[in-house]
Amino acid sequence: MRITAVTCVKNEGPFLLEWIAFNRLIGVTDFLFYSNDCSDGTDRLLDALAAGGTELADLCGNVVHLPNPAEGRNYQMEALKDAAHRTVVQAADWVWIADVDEFLNIHVGDNTIPALIAACGDPAAISVHFQFFANDGIDGFEDRPVIAQFTRSHNPDIWCGETAIEVKSLTRRDFPLQYFGAHRPFFSKKQGKKKGLAWADGSGRQVPHKFLVAANPRRIRKFPAKGARDFATLNHYALRSLDSYLVKNDRGDVNRENRAFDDSYWRERNDPAWQDTSIARYLPALEAALEQIKAHGEIGTLHDEAVRRHREKCADLLKQPAYREMQAQLRAASTLPPDEEALLQELGMM
């Protein structure tokens, strides 16, 4: 079974090898990376992985690295449009579109994507719910697996007062596709046959009809998560350490001139109410795979360079008053999501 993972990256160098090694463990055979404006060596590490030869390909799969084709700021959607025409996607039996901070945690069979597909009855698509993992009060970046460091999250059935939670999707080759969305595939208007299409959630149940038949412009990408995680969960480490979150903000749009920093994204994802260590089942094999990959040629050196640049970027940012203020604000921020805290205050419970 050929399974191609497609993702977009910018300055994700310290985290690339873990994500690749983890996805190899769960059955991904091919990777299509799009990068743009990297300053930490992400692009050079990907080039080395792509050119590493047969021995490295046995460890990392077939890695294809391309510059992001976007001409504007819609990097992901432009890349996904391009991906649909690439051989590495067209030759795949299944396509998995996810980000480098997202890990598909499979609870069934041998904990691989083929086992998940079999448990779900080989549907045309499988949509798995996010579970957002909190910062756990970890300040400093550490060069060790993210999935080992962060173990607390919101209640899996409810996030920020919402029972409908976003998903990411595996798509089978014969899905009647118009285009890949970041969260779900969309039907071809010419050949799309929605009626009777098998589209499973993370428990192998048919997804809700409203989600299934959503018209393309509505871009519906979530549905209730209760009971939908028996076979798989999508662990999302959107925050990681506080150091890494500061670097992530710099990578994006963090121009704070003349306005206050909004910590709502952090607070919405920093709910530590629930502990979930189930993904630790992969750690022994993951750590062994990482050791092998880093020992190959220049890969370990390029990884270490990305780690060094990541740390240097954080240190440089903290020389700026705005980032020191941001760091202090996030350290002091409540671990209750904003809406939940507002409700408790309204009810006089805090």
For the chain, what is the total number of helices (H) and then of strands (E)?
Answer: 14, 14
- Partners of 189 in beta bridges: none
Four-CA torsion 33, 146, 51, 182, nearest 10 degrees: -10
pLDDT for position 255:
32
- Helix, strand, or coil (residue 21): helix
Rounded to an integer, what distance in angstroms lies between the CA atom of residue 103 and that of residue 146?
10
Q: What is the phi/psi pair of residue 232, to 5°?
A: -165, 150
Contact 234/168 with Cβ under 8 angstroms?
yes
- Helix, strand, or coil (residue 196): coil
Q: Per residue of the chain (350 residues), what is the pLDDT tens digit?
A: 999 999 999 999 999 999 999 999 999 999 999 999 999 999 999 999 999 999 999 999 999 999 999 887 788 999 999 999 999 999 999 999 999 999 999 999 999 999 999 999 999 999 999 999 999 999 999 999 999 999 999 999 999 989 999 999 999 999 999 999 999 999 877 765 677 899 999 999 999 998 998 754 556 899 999 999 999 999 999 999 999 999 999 876 433 343 456 899 999 999 999 999 999 999 999 999 999 999 999 999 999 999 999 999 999 999 999 999 999 999 999 998 888 888 778 878 77
Rounded to an integer, what distance in angstroms lies between the CA atom of residue 343 and that of residue 269?
18
**For the whole prediction, is pTM greater than 0.85?**
yes
CA angle 258/262/268 to nearest 5° reads: 175
Query: What DSSP line would sit under 24-60, residue for residue?
Result: HHTT--EEEEEE-S-SSSHHHHHHHHHTSHHHHHHHH
Q: Is 255 exposed, middle or buried (0-12, 13-18, 19+ CB in 10 A)?
A: exposed
pLDDT for position 214:
78
Instruction: Extract the tokens encoding 172.
Output: 């089978």
